[in-house]
Every structure is written in C-alpha cells, then in structure tokens.
Amino acid sequence: MQAVYLLLGKRNCFHKLTLILIYILQLWEHYGYCSQKQSLFRHLLELLKRTAVHGESNSVLIVGPRGAGKTMLLKCVLRDLLEEKEAQKNLLQVHLNGLLQTDDRIALKEITRQLHLENVVGDKVFGSFAENLAFLLEALKKGDRSSSRPVLFVLDEFDLFAHHKNQTLLYNLFDVSQSAQAPIAVVGVTCRLDVLELLEKRVKSRFSHRQIHLLSNLTFTEYLERVQTQLCLPDDFPDSKFAQDWNDSIQTLCEDKSVEEVLQRHFNSSKDFRSMHMLLMLCLSRVSVAKPAIKPADLLEASRLCFADAKANMLHGLSILELCLIIAMKHLNDVYEGEPFNLQMVHNEFKKFLQRKSNSMYNFDQPVIMKAFEHLQQLELIRPADGSSAKTQREYQLMRLMLDHSQIMEALQKYPQCPTDIKQWAMSAFG
Amino acid sequence: MNQSGAESFLGLCLSSLSISVEGLPRTTVISTGQHILIEGEDEDNPYVARVIRLFGDESGKQKKAVVQWFVRVSEVPPSKLKLLGREPHPQEIFYYQGRSCDDEVNAESILRPVQVIVGPLGVQTDLTALCQTSTTHTVTSAEAGLDSDDEVVMKKSRHAAAGSRTPRSKQKSRSSTRTPRKTPNKKVKVQTDAFLRWSAPVVSEISLPVSSLCEQVAPGTPRTPRHATPSIPSRSLPARQPANVLEEARTRLHVSSVPESLPCREQEFQDIYSFVESKIIDGTGGCMYISGVPGTGKTATVHEVMRCLQHAADVDEIPPFHFIEINGMKMTDPHQAYVQILQKLTGQKATADHAAALLEKRFSNAAPRKESTVLLVDELDLLWTRKQNVMYNLFDWPTRRHARLVVLTIANTMDLPERIMINRVASRLGLTRMSFQPYSFKQLQQIITSRLNKVKAFEEDALQLVSRKVAALSGDARRCLDICRRATEICEHSSADPSATGLVGMSHVMEALNEMFSSAYITAIKCASLQEQLFLRAVIAEFRRLGLEEATFQQVFVQHQALCRVEGLQPISVSEGLAVCQRLGACRLLLLEPSRLGVLQRIRLNVSQDDVLYALKAD
C-alpha cells in the first residue's frame, strides 16, 4: 500500500482521500476487542482451541443484540486461533447462515460442499437429500477424536435453523458433538435472548448449554473514545505529517461541544457500533481536497440525515391533492379515534373543507381523487384494514393511515410553498 | 456408440500406426495384435490393452484403434479378488470382458507399446520397464508356485471386472482433455528403445505430430461419484493428550467418552438383556417400548446390552445375531427407515418402496440357517406418518413366524402408543414397556464419581451441589456432565491465585450454574441504550393506562414522547422510534407483529413487567 501511495498519492490529492478511507475502513474491520470483553474472548478462544488441538467436541451459543460485535468476536477469536500452527493445519471450517440456508436440504449440500467430501465434484453435490444426510453422518461417524481433523461449524442467525423441519440438522450436529465421533465445534450466533426455548427438548438436552452473552455496558466516555480512535489515522500511514494534522483535527473535533451533543444523542438512541459507523461514514464522505478535515458542521449534517424521518420525507414529494387527502384522513382519525375509513368518507371530509372556501382551485373530479388515493396506497402511506375483502368496491374499501400526526405536521412545516389555508385546515382541531 | 461404430466402417482401415513419443527423435510404430499402454487417470499406471484393429475416419485426421482391454490387479475390487483363490502377482493383468467400456480409443491417447508375457496362467505384462530379461525372470519366479489352471483364472477375472467398474468411460472423457506432456525422463527413453526393436515392421506410416493434439481439447465433463467413501480427512498432527488432572477430568466427563460401566441402570439393563437374550435363544421375535426424558441413559443402556450380547455371541453362549440401529431424527422422511434397514442388513441400495417390499419378503419367508436380527429404533415418534404404515410394519414383522426379529423402540413420552398410534399399531407394539426415570441426585453423583474413576479433581460438596441442582431441574445426566466440565474450566482460570487448592470447589460450580441457568433478560435491559429503556417504560405505562397487555406502536409512542420530555431529552422521530422498537423486538424483549405494519403494529412484552421495572430501577 505504501508503494501505491508513493506512486499516486503525492501527485494527486484525490488519491490521498481514497487512502484515508482505506486506512480507516481497515481500522474498523480489524478493530481489536475491547478490554472488557477479554474474559468472553478467552473463553471462546480456549473452547475452540480445545477442539482444534485436543479434539474435544463442543457447542456454544453467542447471544447479543444486533451490532454488539458477536461476529466480530468470533472473527477475532478465529484470527488468533489460526495463528497457531497446530490449529491452522487441522481445523476445517463450515460457515452457514440461517438467512441463506433456509432449510436442511440446502444446509446439507452447503456443508458437504464446504467440507469437500467425496460426493462433491467441482461445485456440485451429488445425491438426494436422504443420501446426503446419510453420507455426512457416516463420514462424521467414521472419524474419531484423535485421528480426524476437527470441524468448526459456525451457524449465523442460529434461531432460524431452529425453524427447520424437526430440527434435524441441529439434532444431528449436537448429537455428533456429544458422541465419540469426529470432533466438531458448533458455534451458533444469534440475537434472540430466548433462543434456547426454540429448541426441542431432545435437541436442547444435547446442547451443552454454554452461552456467551455479549451485552455492551459501554459508557458515553468510552463511546467518545471509540469514535476518536476509529477516526484517527494509524501510525503506519505513509504521510506522517498529514496523519499528524488529521489526528489533531479529529482531537479538536471530538472536544467540540456541539459534536459531543450529537454523539450523546446517538449514544442514547443506540450503542450499536454499526449505526455509529454509518454516521462516521457520512462524515468521511464529506471530506474533500479543498477541505481535508472533518468539521463539526459535517457531523451535524450527517446526524440530521441519520435521524430524518423517512415517512415525513416521502410526504414532501406528494401533490397538493394527495396532501389534502392525508389531512382529511388525519381529521377522520381524530373524529373516529383511529377507526378505518374509506375513500368516500375521505372525499366527503375534503368536500367539507372546500365548501368553506369561496374559490374552487382544489375542485377535482372523482376519478382524479381516486387516482390520488391509489397512489397513496402504492406508497404504503395507507393500507387496507384487515378483514376487508378485496371484493368490495374500491371506493368503499376500508383503509388505515400509516402515519403519525407528528409526522404529518412536520412534513407540512417543510413542504415547499404549502398554501396557507391548507396549513390552517391541518392545524384546526376539527375538520 | 452406434455412431462411432458406423464411422469405423466408413473409415479407412490401417494396418499399422505410428505415434511419436515426446522427447524421442523417432516415431514409434504400432501394429495390430500388439499390446499398448493407454493414458489413464493414474500417470504411473496407465491402462493396458491389445490392439485389434486400427483405422482412421474419412477426413483422415482422427486415428482410432479398437482394443481389447486388460485390467490390472489394483483395478480389481478387493472383494472380487478373493474369488481368484490365490495371491496375484502385482504386475499381473486380467482379460476384461465388461460391456461398460468403449473399446475404441483415439490414437493420441496411446502412450507406447509394451511387452506382455503370457505366463502359464494368464496374461502378464511388465510395466515398470526394467530391462527385458529381468522382467521375465520376475514373472517366472512369481508364477512358479501357482497351480490353478488358465481357464479358471480367465473366468474369474471376467466375473470380477464385469460389475466392478467403468474405467474406460472415465478414461475417454479424460483423454479428450489431454494436454501434451513434458519430456519423459531418461528411463522411459531407454525402455521405449528396447520396445522399438520388438515392434512389427512398418507398412505405412502416418505420423501424428503431438502439437496437433491440442486442437481437439474439449472441456471434460466431471464424473459422477459412484463409489464415494464418506470420510473426514485425518489430521496432520496428532491430537494432544490431556496434560493435567483437570484436563484429564474434563476428558472423562465429556458426554462422548464411553464409560466402563453404566451405574444406576442395573435393573433396566437386566430387564432388556433378559428380554433380548430369551428372544434370540428361542429364535422368536418381539417388541419393546422404552421411554424416558432426554439424558436418562436409554440409548446408552441399550448399546451396553448389545455389547454384552455380542460378547456372549462371540464366545458361543448364545446364537449369533445381527444388530442394526436406526434413528428417526437421522433420516429425512419416515419411509427412509426401510432404506436404512435394508442397507444395514444386506448392503443393498433401493428406493423406499422397493426396500419395503424386499424387507417384507425377507421377514415373511422361511430360510435355512437364519440369524436373529435385533433392531433398535431411536426417536420412534419421528416415524409417524398419517397412515402409520412404517410403524405398523416395524411392529408387524416380529410377529411373523420366520422373521426372528426383535424390535427395541425408544421415545421420550411414556404414553406415546396411546397418544399417536391407532389401535392396530399399538396392539402390535404389545405391552412390554419400560420407562427410565430421571436420575435422582444420588445417582447423578454416583455417575460423576464413577466417570472420574479416582481422578481427584472435585471437592465432595461441589459434586453434591451440581447433582442436587440438576436433579431438581431435569435429572438430565448430560446437563450434569456439562456443568462439571464448565466448572473445571472456571477452576483452571482462577487457579492463578495462590489460595486455590487446584480442586473444583463450590464457587466454581456456582459460577458455572449461574452461567448456564440464569436468564439474560435483566442484564440485557440494564445494558440497553437510554432510548430503549425509555421505550420499555413507555410500554409499561401504556399497558397500565389501557389495562391490557397489548398496545399499538402509535399508542406507546405517545407515551414515549411524554417520557422524553420528562427526562429532558430531545423527542425522537417516528422512524427512530420504530428502529428502537425493532431492536428490542429482535432480541425478543418485546414481541412484535411484522414490521410492515409500521406504526400500527401491536406490541407485547416478553418479560414480566416486574422484571423490567426491577432492571430499570437497579441503575
């Protein structure tokens, strides 16, 4: 990478920006594990090491909310594990994901493929579902603790595997891990705290009940430090003077009062590292050749983008007529306390508003209103109420509004050139 | 095949063919009747054949040869080799009469001619290409002691080859992808020279330059694995052995380690043993139903019984018998049970329907000298089908006069026959039932002690705590062993401080128990972000207001906004509120309707309100 920098970086500032991005993203990817998670890290590492080195079968679940670093923990452990020669030479790995392997048939093919068993040619796995299962079980059964290579099964989105028919795959994996066959380690990764309740009792009995709960009790100061370290350029950055300037600017950025406020707000909302990265990425993307530093204003802007309400933004793109219909629906919701409505009711409500006005600039025909109504449905701003059959005429089909009042009011404030009378109508207590 | 046959008639017949061996200045000439080596999968052991006819197609570009194949000793499956009745010479080849191979080969796949010496018994070839005289010497000395006649060998070898393999079809696809090879080493050169002397005179030469072969390179189709052996590769470095007392204890406590004896199941063992033994001795059949919650040693006990019976059969105390085992969980469909039973009984492969028919025939017909069969059916409840014909057959076969089948079935629930089986199935299962009670704390303690077998790693109190705790919860021996194993790990970590005795004590066991049995809900709430905690409070507030345990997001959100104002926080937008709600739903602190309902989705708590309040107050 240094060579790349020397080739391009000095001549063209643009490449320097790319390089900053590369370095920082690398930092995010290879971020070492925080010290407070050390005990969990050691637990998992030793567990897997025993499988790799001693051939002891194990099973473990890593549980924690989304973005808490479950996969990162596993990745760091595997990286450390594979540095050891004894483990690296022996360990076979199988990675499955509940979102990809949606049933046991697919999962079995994938396992066979990743293990390169003998019924695999190229990328194809031969045999029926039943044959594949029998083949895999036979293969695992033939192995034994001391002579076969240990296999590591990583099941991402573990809870989804529990929905497979009869939980055949889980039963068999756990059964192998509890009997004298080829040594395997089953590592499940999930965000569901109630995952054990999903397992059938005979499957549950075979699971070792080791759970690693990954919950972050991060404080705000730690969060702030983390933001700073994640934005700083590492020491091996080719242009040390630039790195120094950059790091100083990050330092001042993090000490800024308004920045701290924004980060506090993010921290309050979620401790998830992924959402933090999202925010920082938006900031980084605003760095340019003319302005090679992150300014507090960038962070404020990024935060505004992150917190923007999606539905309210959609309302800005509606026509005046569609907006009027939404307001009419809001009034109907107020009057009938959230009961569903149909097109006729909305149209009546709208007509009442028009009658109070002398000018008729919003006078539309029924078909036009119908079209607008359908458009709203397509945008999923309204949706049919449950139980209303599709057979009823479209004018009388019962609908519900998918917006909160606060969203409508917010959108009206920002709507470009919104007529005053419509604004007033929306604010008035009664239609 | 037909097409190529037709081509061969159209083609120009040749009486001899010359090929060039790479690295040699001269071309080698091959004529009809000569033995040749043909390129195969194994570089060191090419195929052997005799040329019957040589021809070229109309265009004259493609030269082909019709050959008679021979098989090497290594290509004959070991089971067929036994039929030979003598030790074959490693370089011996056999006449091949299988119909599965194409007997037409492309000229470019021919490597070189080879000398074959017809011994007193069969056809033999020198393949290692040492000098000619020494080869002859080896062969004659190898053949000296053999006494079976030629005819028999030929017949047997034909038999052996017929069902065993399809090497030529493989070879064919391979030869088409062949690339020109590197210069052969010196040894080959010497050898080819030697054979040149031996070859027939040249009549008409058609030289084929090697480079032209590249034009015919076509992508080969991968082979279908027919005889794939299921296996996990073996490790390059041997597994490390346990080094200290704790590691030793951990190995012994692993559920997978087979214990020397099964304590606390003596009565059950005796019952099953006498049941199966009497059936085997009488040559009759019968069924037994064994039930018990998971981890009470059902399968282990049956396996132990079978080990003992097998031992008894080995020393001729009881007649020999077959033991086969199927597991409802280890098959994809109940009807696969037939396939697995048939395969384990006879090694045949068949479809489910065919297998059922074969088994039916096997168990209903009388046969001389028939052995008893003991069939263990684990996880019986998984074999349930709507018509219950799998279960029906399994329990019906033992009642046949000639079946000599003993069926042992295992499931978790005691009243399974009454609950899921229709009358005619339940009636055939009979009333021989046994139920395994969950282990009591004393039994669990005994199990651990017997497993540890004088390895001193645990304090007495610690063992008692584990067994009492597990006995109170489930009586599952697996759980008990897992907790002990975890406790040894915790002990190992804490052994750094000097006060530790090196034994697993109460504190270690307590820690392991806490890890395994405590629920994480409360810690999860404590670790949630501020907005998430506020949202949970809003949910409870809304539940109290409504007097219901369910509310829509919209309703909760109003409460949430109010709480934000009370706490002096900036109110959040609806999108953000929904995100907070989804995060809580993902880890199942809340139960949610599908998220496409947006603000209308209904929310429930998955934890009790008291737990939430307790967790939030503790901060």
Ordered by start, the domain boundaries in chain A are: 25-213, 218-307, 312-430
Edge-first strand order for the sheet with A151-156 is A92-97, A151-156, A184-190, A58-63, A211-213
What pLDDT shows up at residue A206? 94
Q: How many angstroms separate the CA atoms of B413 and B298, rounded?
A: 12
What pLDDT shows up at residue B79? 55
Enumerate residues 277 to 336 of chain B having a beta carbon within 8 A of any beta carbon in chain A. 293-295, 329-333, 336
- Do residues B392 and B301 both lie within one domain? yes
Give residue A341's identity as a one-letter amino acid code: F
What pLDDT shows up at residue B16? 59
Domain-embedded: residue B238? no
Interface residue of B223, B229, B232 to substitute, partner A, most A CBs within 10 Å:
B232
Choose one of B119, B150, B168: the last residue of a domain.
B168
Chain B CA closest to residue A165: B332
pLDDT band at B140; cut points 50, 70, 90:
very low
> CB-based contacts of B427: which residues, under 8 Å, 6+ apart?
none
What pLDDT shows up at residue A215? 86
- Do residues B587 and B614 both lie within one domain? yes
**3-class DSSP assignment, residue B187:** helix
Query: What end-to-end distance do the CA atoms of chain A give, in Å?
Result: 66
CATH number of domain containing B326:
3.40.50.300
pLDDT (tens digit per residue) in B298-356: 999 999 999 999 999 999 889 999 999 999 999 999 999 999 999 999 988 899 999 99
pTM above 0.95, yes or no: no
Domain-embedded: residue B91? yes
A contacts of B587 (beta carbons < 8 Å): 64-66, 191-193
Choose one of B405, B421, B436: the last residue of a domain.
B436
- Do residues B483 and B530 both lie within one domain? no
**Residue from the list B294, B583, B589 with its beta carbon closest to the beta carbon of A270:** B583
Enumerate residues 215 to 234 of chain A having a beta carbon within 8 A of any beta carbon in chain B. 215-217
CATH number of domain containing B137:
2.30.30.490
> CB-based contacts of B386: which residues, under 8 Å, 6+ apart?
none
Asked if the Cβ–Cβ distance from A121 to B222 is below 8 Å, we say yes
Q: Is the pLDDT of residue B451 over 60?
A: yes
From B37's Cα to the closest Cα of chain A, the distance in A is 28
* Structural domains of chain B, count: 4
Residue where the block lists tokens 């496409």 = B596
- Do residues B157 and B19 both lie within one domain? yes
Domain-embedded: residue B173? no
- Do residues B443 and B529 both lie within one domain? no
- Do residues B325 and B409 both lie within one domain? yes
Tokens of B537: 């409070």
> CB-based contacts of B502: which residues, under 8 Å, 6+ apart?
B245, B246, B491, B495
Q: How many angstroms separate the CA atoms of A169 and A206, rounded?
A: 12
Asked if the Cβ–Cβ distance from A122 to B524 is below 8 Å, we say no
Check if the beta carbon of residue A343 is closer than 8 Å to that of residue A373.
yes
- Do residues B443 and B411 both lie within one domain? no
Domain extent for B92: 3-168
- Do residues B153 and B274 both lie within one domain? no
Asked if the Cβ–Cβ distance from A307 to B573 is below 8 Å, we say yes
What percentage of chain A carries pLDDT values higher than 70? 92
- Phi first, then psi, for residue A354 (nearest 5°) are -65, -35
Q: How many angstroms separate the CA atoms of A228 and A222, rounded?
A: 10
Domain-embedded: residue B232? no
ipTM of the complex as predicted:
0.90
Contact of A193 with chain B, judged by CB distance below 8 Å, is answered with: yes
A contacts of B519 (beta carbons < 8 Å): 193
What pLDDT shows up at residue B164? 39
Chain B CA closest to residue A275: B579
- Do residues B30 and B129 both lie within one domain? yes
- Do residues B335 and B406 both lie within one domain? yes
Domain-embedded: residue B450? yes
pLDDT band at B499; cut points 50, 70, 90:
low
Enumerate residues 234 to 253 of chain A having a beta carbon within 8 A of any beta carbon in chain B. none
A312-430: which CATH topology?
Arc Repressor Mutant, subunit A (1.10.10)
Asked if the Cβ–Cβ distance from B573 to A309 is below 8 Å, we say yes
- Do residues B578 and B541 both lie within one domain? yes
Provide the CATH number for the domain formed by A25-213 in this structure: 3.40.50.300
> CB-based contacts of A250: which residues, under 8 Å, 6+ apart?
A228, A231, A232, A294
Q: How many angstroms separate the CA atoms of B413 and B421, rounded?
A: 13
> CB-based contacts of B71: which residues, under 8 Å, 6+ apart?
B48, B93, B94, B96, B157, B160, B161, B167
Q: How many angstroms separate the CA atoms of A300 and A238, rounded?
A: 30
Choose one of B394, B409, B436: the last residue of a domain.
B436
CATH number of domain containing B600:
1.10.10.10
pLDDT band at B18; cut points 50, 70, 90:
low
**Beta bridge partners of residue B13, listed in sequence order:** B55
pLDDT (tens digit per residue) in A240-262: 888 888 889 989 998 899 999 99
- Do residues B489 and B428 both lie within one domain? no
From A378's Cα to the closest Cα of chain B, the distance in A is 13
B29: part of which helix (H) or strand (E)?
strand B27-31
Domain-embedded: residue B394? yes
- What single string gives the DSSP state of each residue in A156-173? ESHHHHTTSGGGHHHHHH
Contacts 24+ apart (CB under 8 A), A6-13: A6/A238, A9/A238, A9/A239, A13/A289, A13/A292
Q: How many angstroms separate the CA atoms of B585 and B535, rounded?
A: 12
Instruction: Give chain A's radius of gyration (CA, Å).
Output: 29
Asked if the Cβ–Cβ distance from A205 to B479 is below 8 Å, we say yes
Domain-embedded: residue B465? yes
Interface residue of A178, A269, A306, A400 to substitute, partner B, most B CBs within 10 Å:
A269
Q: How many angstroms separate the CA atoms of B98 and A4, rounded?
A: 63
Q: How many angstroms separate the CA atoms of B279 and A55, rounded?
A: 40
